[in-house]
Amino acid sequence: MRPAELSPLFASARSLTGVGPRVEEMLRKAVRLPPGVTETRVVDLLWHTPTGIVDRRSAPTIASAVPGTIVTLEVRVLRHRPSPRGNTRAPYKVQVEDDSGRLDIVFFHAERRFVEAQLPVGETRFVSGRIERYNDNTQMTHPDYIVAPDKRDDLPMLEPVYPLTAGLSGKVLSKICRRAVERLPRLPEWQDPAWMKSQAWPAFHDAVVALHKPQDAGDVSNGSPFWQRLAYDELLAGQLALGLVRQKQKVQPGRRVSGDGRIRARIADALPFALTGAQRRALADIAADMNAPHRMLRLLQGDVGSGKTVVALMTMAMAVEAGGQAALMAPPEVLARQHVETIAPLAEKAGLRLAILTGREKGKARELVLRHLAAGEIDIVIGTHALFQPDVHFHDLGVAVIDEQHRFGVMQRLALRQKGDLNPDVLVMTATPIPRTLTLAFYGHLDVSVIDELPPGRQAIKTYWKLPYERAKVYEGVRKVIAEGKQAYFVCPMISESEKMQTQAAEDLYYRLSTEVYPDLRVGLLHGQMKPDAKEDVMLKFRAGELDVLVSTVVIEVGVDVPNAIAMVIEDANRFGLAQLHQLRGRVGRGSDQSYCVLVAEAKTEEARARLETMVATTDGFKIAEQDLRLRGPGQLMGTMQHGNLDLKIADLVKDARMIEVARDCSEWLLQIDLHLQLPEHQGILSQVQEHPVDKTLLTVS
Ligand code: ADP
Ligand code: MG
């Protein structure tokens, strides 16, 4: 429940003077409410923050006013010169003066009565607008403000500039926003007083007022204490929202899964390597979660090649040791099959009963798997979304592992889904390194483990950036690699989102390479419009070493694992985002041989150059993700991860990175002293928590 004094803020904007149905509709566009929201509320206007200000404080005399600047002048009205009859294109001019000189105020398409009422002859008026020179005359066309001396205070000396929409003038919008601000009551402070003092931050009320009625040009920029205070509040509200979701998850009944380690020991024996420290740390986190009485919801981040598959297998083994079953969901199908291939030999040695279930298992084969699953005669099942169709019943699903690579959609739904009265533990794996600030901001409700160490003996992939005219040399280099019995990928230029165009690009490159460049080599082609059988056929051939070169679209981005392929050429690499380049490059460097990645590109923009240089400089996925965040901002970055409405209104996850850590700590502390944010002094921040998108998508799901 929201305190009564706040309810005027949550009323429709139409409750404000001057806002009718038509204006309200324009407001909805201007403040960019998410689709589906049908009404602008007063509070939405408070968060419609200015992008700058118009400074009207300059009050020179007419003679000293600088053309091109915005000024506020005190003038006497001398005479009106309406446009001549029949010539509406000629302007209506009003001559005014002060002690220093004269000025024409110019109107186009003006109505005589209107102008006469605004500027009565012989009276004094304040006019504010841009000064111009025209044929030796000083003039001001369509002043922004014309006010009588007794209304002088209505003229905003520092006028905020808001993002607008067609039909809605800045003047109208700023007036409406000012009215909205008047609704904001003074609320008891929710921030810790010592912290407030150390930051020299204003009260919430004053901060909001300052954004809409700035006293100084700097007030509406990210660095101002007003802005910082509100940014911090926004981050804090986000952390509290995630914290509340986290609490809710923790009370979901789970079960204590504690295996005796016997299967894990057998797997470890069968592995040709020892686990890395990072893998062991992740497994310790997971074991602790599974052992706890509540449900596990853990995100495992690890760069491509960091060895997540073994961690998944060990996790599943824990559930089986405790008498349960385990599922590994890894779409698309190629990836699921690849996992089966890697895991099957280990499973066999460990005595685990393994099955696969994808869209391709049909009829009898599928029925058999379903029957065994329901009877508990399968320990581990690996598959695609097909695993979670309604007619799939587990005898006793202890843990679900989801290999999401870089798609996060499934996690949210699955994480909250109730299956029976005991919820399986959930481990989500992602190969997309997410900068820590983003993890905190968006996945703060999940526990996170990071595999931040590659298995030993890996050689960093050597990356080169070459210009298009150097192609011939690049092709020769690849030929040398192939002469040594190795294989190479060519990734074709990303020319459009359209599958068809993409296919065309792949076919063109394939044609050129197979006929002109490497007529003597075995070249294969892989693209998204091929039938699944044909795709798999090509992949199998490439894996078996029956192809030297594989030309592909970005379909190889996900999961393909051919250690003998040690070179990759990415054509028109400037067209790809950093995250995508990193994913693509991760297809090489999977064995112990030195691998190479060549980016063929012209850098047409500064940003493209920065991206290419980053790729050359580092193979560390986290560093690349940080750089991506700086270059593209969180919206874009998370957008590629298929996440919805994540826009922050005030805070900036790059500039305000430091604050989010503080907000995280503070939110934990607040929830400790006030579990449901019920104390009167927490009502103000609670109402912001309730506004948080996480709140809407997760908190309300029960
Ligand atoms: P990803 O995290 O990309 O899924 P994988 O699990 O496919 O990585 O592992 C990549 C490669 O590294 C595989 O060939 C795997 O066998 C190997 N690997 C995994 N863990 C280790 C380790 N601790 N030591 C040596 N090699 C390892
Ligand atoms: Mg993997």
Q: How many CB atoms lie within 10 A of CB 20?
A: 8
What type of residue is 514?
S
Instruction: Output Rg (C-alpha) for the chain, integer angstroms.
Output: 32
CB of 325 within 6 A of ligand 1: the answer is no
Ligand 1 centroid–CA 337 distance in Å is 16
Kindly report the three-state secondary structure assignment for every residue of 238-288. HHHHHHHHHHHHHCCECCCCCCCCHHHHHHHHHCCCCCCHHHHHHHHHHHH
> Hey, what are 76's tokens?
């006497």
Say if ligand 1 is within 6 A of residue 309 CB: yes
* Cβ proximity of 122 and 75 under 8 Å: no
User: For a pocket test of ligand 1, which of 271, 283, 306 has the largest count of ligand atoms closer than 8 A to its C-beta?
Assistant: 306
Residues paired with 450 in a beta bridge: 301
Ligand 1 neighbourhood includes 310 CB (under 6 angstroms): yes
Question: Would you put residue 442 in left (φ > 0), alpha (ψ -120 to 50) or beta?
Answer: alpha
Gap between the Cα atoms of 60 and 67, Å rounded: 12
306 alpha carbon – ligand 1 mean position (Å) = 6
Atom of ligand 1 nearest to the CA of 310: 6
State if residue 276 touches ligand 1 by the CB under 6 angstroms criterion: yes
CA 211/CA 73 separation, integer angstroms: 26
Q: What are 141's two structure tokens?
A: 């066309």
Instruction: Give me ligand 1 centre to Cα 284, in Å.
Output: 18
Question: Distance from CA of residue 463 to its chain's centroid?
Answer: 27
Mutate to test the pocket of ligand 1, among 276, 299, 309, 339 (most ligand atoms within 8 A of CB): 309
Determine the distance separating the centroid of ligand 1 and the alpha carbon of 537, expressed in angstroms. 25
Q: Cα-flanking dihedrals φ and ψ of residue 164, to 5°?
A: -110, 180
Taking 3-state DSSP, the helix, strand and coil percentages for the chain, each rounded to the nearest 5, stand at 45, 20, 35
Enter the tokens of residue 263.
């299967």
Nearest residue by C-alpha to atom 15 in ligand 1: 307
Q: Kindly report the protein residue whose alpha carbon is nearest to atom 25 of ligand 1.
A: 455
> Does any ligand 1 atom lie closer than 6 A to the CB of residue 431?
yes
| Å from CA of 356 to ligand 2 middle | 17
Pairing between β-strand 70-81 and β-strand 92-98 as defined by DSSP bridges = antiparallel
CB of 346 within 6 A of ligand 1: the answer is no
Closest ligand, as measured to the CA of 306: 1
For residue 302, the ligand closest to its alpha carbon is 1
d(CA 303, ligand 1 centre) in Å: 11
CA end-to-end distance (rounded Å), the chain: 18
CA of 310 to the centre of ligand 2 (A): 9
Separation CA 605–CA 702 (nearest Å): 47
CB 357 within 8 Å of CB 381: yes
CA distances from 516 to 433, 463, 510 (A): 39, 25, 10
| CA-based max dimension of the chain | 102
CA of residue 499 relative to chain centroid, distance: 24
Ligand 1 pocket member 273 (CB < 6 A): yes
Q: Whose CA is nearest to atom 19 of ligand 1?
A: 307
Place of tokens 């279930």: 357
CA distances from 206 to 42, 182, 187 (A): 17, 11, 11
Q: How far is CA 77 from the centre of its chain?
A: 55
Length of the chain as a residue count: 702
Could you tell me the CA-to-CA distances from 339 to 308, 312, 562 in Å, in that order? 11, 10, 13
What would the two tokens of residue 234 be? 């926004």
- Tell me, what's the pLDDT at 696? 47
Ligand 1 within 6 A of CB of 268: no
Cα 591–Cα 407–Cα 250 angle in degrees, nearest 5: 110
Ligand with minimal distance to 405 CA: 2
Ligand 2 centroid–CA 664 distance in Å is: 30
Q: Pick from 273, 427, 452, 560 the residue to mutate for probing ligand 1's pocket: most ligand atoms within 8 Å of its CB.
A: 273
Ligand 1 atom nearest residue 451's Cα: 2
Number of H helices, E strands in the chain: 23, 21
Could you tell me how far CA 625 lies from the centroid of its own chain? 12
| Ramachandran angles phi, psi of 328, nearest 5° | -120, 115
Q: Whose CA is nearest to atom 4 of ligand 1?
A: 308
* Element at 505 (helix H, strand E): helix 499-512
The count of other CB atoms within 10 Å of the CB of residue 24 is 17
Q: In three state form, how does the secondary structure of 404-440 look? A: EECCCHHHHHHHHCCCCCCCCEEEEEECCCCCHHHHH
For the record, the structure tokens of 161 come out as 């500039």
Residue 306 Cβ < 6 Å to ligand 1: yes
Nearest atom in ligand 1 to 561's CA: 7
- Cβ–ligand 1 distance for 275 under 6 Å, the answer yes
- For the whole model, what pTM was predicted? 0.76
Q: How far is the CA of 42 from the centre of ligand 1 (A)?
A: 54
Decide whether any atom of ligand 1 lies within 6 Å of the 280 Cβ. Answer: no
Question: Could you tell me if 621 and 433 are in contact, meaning their C-beta atoms sit under 8 angstroms apart?
Answer: yes
Burial class (CB in 10 A: 0-12, 13-18, 19+), 164: middle
Ligand nearest to the CA of 458: 1
Inter-CA distances, 181 with 23, 43, 97, 202, Å: 18, 9, 37, 16
The response to whether residue 433 sits with its C-beta less than 6 Å from ligand 1 reads no
In the reported structure, the alpha carbon of residue 471 is separated from the centroid of ligand 1 by a whole-number distance in angstroms of 33
Which pLDDT belongs to residue 576? 87
Judge if the beta carbon of residue 26 lies within 6 A of ligand 1: no
Strands 462-466 and 596-600: parallel
Give the number of the ligand closest to the Cα of residue 450: 1
Atom of ligand 1 nearest to the CA of 271: 16
Side chain identity at 263, as an amino acid letter?
I
Give dist(CA 279, CA 277) in Å, integer: 5
pLDDT along the chain (702 residues), means of 10: 80 92 90 83 91 90 94 96 82 94 92 92 95 90 93 87 84 90 91 90 94 87 92 93 82 76 95 96 95 87 90 96 93 86 95 94 93 96 88 90 66 46 79 83 85 87 96 96 96 78 89 96 91 87 94 74 92 88 88 92 90 94 88 66 59 87 91 88 86 54 30
Q: Is the peptide bond before 332 cis (omega within 30 degrees of 0)?
A: yes
Supply the DSSP symbol for 152.
Answer: G
- 626: enclosing H helix or E strand: helix 621-639
Q: How far is CA 139 from the centre of its chain?
A: 48
Tell me the ligand closest to 309's alpha carbon: 1
Token code pair at residue 302: 């690890």
586 CA closest ligand 1 atom index: 3
Q: Is 513 in the pocket of ligand 1 (CB under 6 A)?
A: no
Taking a C-beta distance cutoff of 8 angstroms, is the pair 553, 527 a contact?
A: yes
Closest approach atom of ligand 1 to CA 563: 14
Beta strands at 145-147 and 124-134: parallel, antiparallel or unpaired:
antiparallel
Is the minimum distance from the CB of 430 to ligand 1 under 6 angstroms?
A: no
Residue 610's contacts (CB-CB under 8 Å, 6 or more residues apart) are 627, 631
Angle at 76 between CA 71 and CA 79, to 5 degrees: 115
619 CB within 6 A, ligand 1? no
Structure tokens at 215: 């006293």
Nearest to 492 by CA among 536, 549, 559, 531: 549
Residues 381 and 398: their CA atoms lie apart, in Å, by 12
CA 471 to ligand 2 center in whole angstroms: 32
Tell me if 307 CB under 6 Å of ligand 1.
yes
Alpha helices per DSSP H over 323-455 = 333-350, 363-375, 409-416, 436-443
Please provide residue 262's backbone torsions phi and psi, each rounded to the nearest 5 degrees: -70, -40
Q: Measured between alpha carbons, how far is 365 from 382 in angstroms, rounded to an integer?
A: 15
CA–centroid distance, 287 to ligand 1, in Å, is 20
3-state secondary structure 179-247: HHHHCCCCCCCCCCHHHHHHHCCCCHHHHHHHHHCCCCHHHHCCCCHHHHHHHHHHHHHHHHHHHHHHH
Predicted local confidence at residue 58, as pLDDT: 92
The response to whether residue 118 sits with its C-beta less than 6 Å from ligand 1 reads no
Per the CB < 8 A criterion, the answer to whether 597 and 583 are in contact is: no
Whose atoms come closest to the Cα of 313: which ligand?
A: 1
Kindly state the DSSP code that residue 294 receives in the 8-state scheme. B
Residue keyed to tokens 């409405």: 645
Q: What separation in Å is there between the alpha carbon of 310 and the centre of ligand 1?
A: 7
Q: Please choose, from the candidates 152, 172, 149, the residue with its C-alpha nearest in 3D space to the C-alpha of residue 162.
A: 172
Dig out the tokens for 278 from the structure: 């990072």
* Ligand nearest to the Cα of 586, by number: 1
